[in-house]
């Protein structure tokens, strides 16, 4: 008699869509998947995410014994005493809190923030968004009784809003008021930002159980999407993950937090143990989409053109700050195309100039993150933008190291499914290693130094 397999589900509520994967617990094989899009914008009613999660079947996932929800980090949801939204959520890529973040840094000093939280407040962090609401919407600020990030809020809703909300250490570390040293919320910093204290969710461990759905599905604690991606890839200390999605993130698993006086690196916690220092840039794969739209071509055609252009795009280079930028801080900036000449004014060189700009941003972040002292182990390239062969080769060329491209899939959702399996069984599932393709640097990289120098000069000029 054929035994019905035990299933586990992982959900990723990202910026652009909700993705559900249901896996066979024993083998890690995909049984079912679905997805629904989210509205665009940097300010949204969180019920849009609940509607997408419910509509995709993620609220009661396909007979799964256990489930876990990963979601976009930093995005901040403001709730009143009754658990209702005070105002629309502010997404991670909303830049309006940049000046509020600067004031918070000035009030306490960078050294105090780094010691307290392992990061310096910027526009993305919940602590900065709370200060912005306090400064610009005092009536709303007075009504805020609790603050949740999307994975916390969605987990609470899946459980029918029964009991108190919970979170995990990866998302707690993204708020700007959690200590990597004590692993406790710093309510004093939250109070400084908002003007009064609020409730904070309980922080559960990786295998923690938040509750059960009405149909009996066990619900794990969940985690942030970056932590979930590291779970999916089963990273170890020294592994670097470069993710090219809506944003670009370059993160490295370490045993200890990293304090970066420049404020480029945020110390975020790994859902398992240890930390994931991370550099986050706002402009990712949508830069490729924008150039493809400008040229009137598909992304596949853009990839072909970029590979056919001159290695250095004949001097052309895109500074990819199309939506402002977070690292480096350039919230009032915009993108620009430099080095144009009659020679470089071709579709191939414009396409390549776009990939060069993204590649240089990644190379800068990679050099920053790997100065931490943790011995480098693997470099893994993931996300929708990594499906471009030119992007993969460009990253290898510009950082001068071989990179691994795991077979494309929804890594954050798979990581959430791994967490669900962990919560169900009490241990990490023994699933097969994801096949990957190695991409080595080109033999001729004489053009790299000139491109990196042009990018550095252009970005310094842009934010100066």
| CA dist., res. 44 & res. 90, Å (int) | 7
| Active-site residue, 239 included | no
Largest CA distance in the chain: 72
Q: What is the 3-state secondary structure (H, E, C) of 322-388?
A: ECECCCCCCCCCCCEEECCCCCCCCHHHHHHHHHHHHHHHHHHHHHHHHHHCCCCCCEEEECHHHHC
Q: For residue 458, give both structure tokens.
A: 């252009």
Say which of 94, 152, 171, 225 is annotated catalytic.
225
**Cβ neighbours of residue 169 under 8 Å, at least 6 residues apart?**
178, 183, 203, 205, 269, 270, 271
Sequence-distant (≥ 6) Cβ neighbours of residue 464 within 8 angstroms: none
In this structure, what is the dihedral angle of CA atoms 417, 419, 424, 427, given to the nearest 10 degrees? 130
Question: How many Cβ atoms sit within 10 Å of the Cβ of residue 173?
Answer: 30
Residue 57, number of CB atoms within 10 A of its CB? 18
In contact, 270 and 245? CB cutoff 8 Å:
no
**CA 275 to chain CA centroid, nearest Å:** 15
Burial of 273: CB neighbours in 10 Å, binned 0-12, 13-18, 19+: exposed
Structure tokens at 67: 């489930």
Q: Give the Cα separation of 55 and 58 in Å (integer).
A: 7
Q: How far apart are CA 223 and CA 231, in angstroms?
A: 10
Q: Which residues are catalytic?
A: 225
């Amino acid at each position: 008699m054929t035994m019905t397999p035990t299933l586990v589900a992982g959900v990723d509520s990202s910026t652009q869509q909700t993705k559900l994967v249901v896996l066979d617990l024993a083998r890690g094989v995909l049984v079912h998947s679905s997805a629904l899009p989210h509205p665009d914008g940097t300010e949204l009613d969180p019920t849009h995410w609940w509607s997408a999660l419910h509509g995709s079947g993620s609220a009661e996932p396909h007979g799964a014994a256990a489930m876990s929800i990963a979601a976009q980090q930093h995005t901040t949801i403001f709730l009143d005493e009754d658990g209702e939204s005070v105002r629309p959520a502010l997404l991670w890529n909303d830049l309006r809190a940049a000046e509020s973040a600067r004031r918070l840094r000035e009030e306490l000093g960078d050294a105090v923030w780094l010691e307290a939280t392992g990061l310096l407040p910027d526009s993305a962090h919940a602590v900065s968004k709370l200060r912005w609401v306090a400064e610009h919407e005092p009536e709303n600020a007075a009504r805020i009784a609790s603050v949740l990030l999307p994975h916390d809020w969605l987990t609470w809703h899946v459980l029918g809003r029964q009991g108190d909300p919970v979170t995990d250490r990866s998302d707690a570390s993204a708020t700007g008021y959690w200590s990597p040293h004590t692993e406790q919320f710093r309510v004093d910093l939250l109070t400084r930002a908002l003007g009064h204290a609020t409730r904070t969710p309980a922080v559960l461990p990786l295998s923690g159980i938040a509750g059960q759905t009405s149909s009996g599905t066990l619900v794990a604690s969940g985690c942030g999407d970056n932590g979930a991606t590291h779970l999916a890839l089963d990273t170890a200390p020294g592994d670097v993950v470069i993710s090219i999605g809506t944003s670009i993130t370059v993160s490295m698993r370490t045993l200890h937090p990293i304090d970066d006086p420049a404020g480029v690196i945020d110390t975020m916690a790994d859902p398992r143990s240890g930390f994931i220092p991370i550099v986050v840039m706002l402009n990712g794969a949508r830069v490729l989409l924008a150039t493809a739209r400008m040229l009137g071509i598909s992304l596949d055609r853009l990839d072909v053109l970029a590979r056919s252009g001159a290695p250095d795009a004949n001097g052309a280079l895109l500074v990819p700050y199309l939506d402002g930028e977070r690292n480096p801080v350039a919230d009032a900036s915009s993108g620009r195309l430099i080095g144009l000449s009659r020679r470089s004014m071709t579709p191939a060189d414009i396409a390549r100039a776009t990939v060069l700009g993204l590649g240089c941003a990644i190379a800068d972040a990679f050099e920053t993150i790997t100065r931490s002292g943790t011995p480098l182990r693997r470099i893994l390239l993931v996300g929708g933008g990594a499906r471009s062969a030119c992007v993969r080769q460009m990253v290898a060329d510009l950082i001068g190291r071989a990179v691994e491209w795991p077979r494309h899939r929804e890594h954050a959702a798979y990581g959430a499914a791994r967490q669900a399996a962990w919560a169900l069984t009490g241990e990490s599932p023994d699933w097969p290693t994801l096949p990957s393709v190695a991409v080595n640097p080109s033999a001729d990289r004489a053009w790299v130094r000139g491109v990196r120098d042009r990018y550095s000069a252009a970005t310094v000029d842009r934010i100066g």
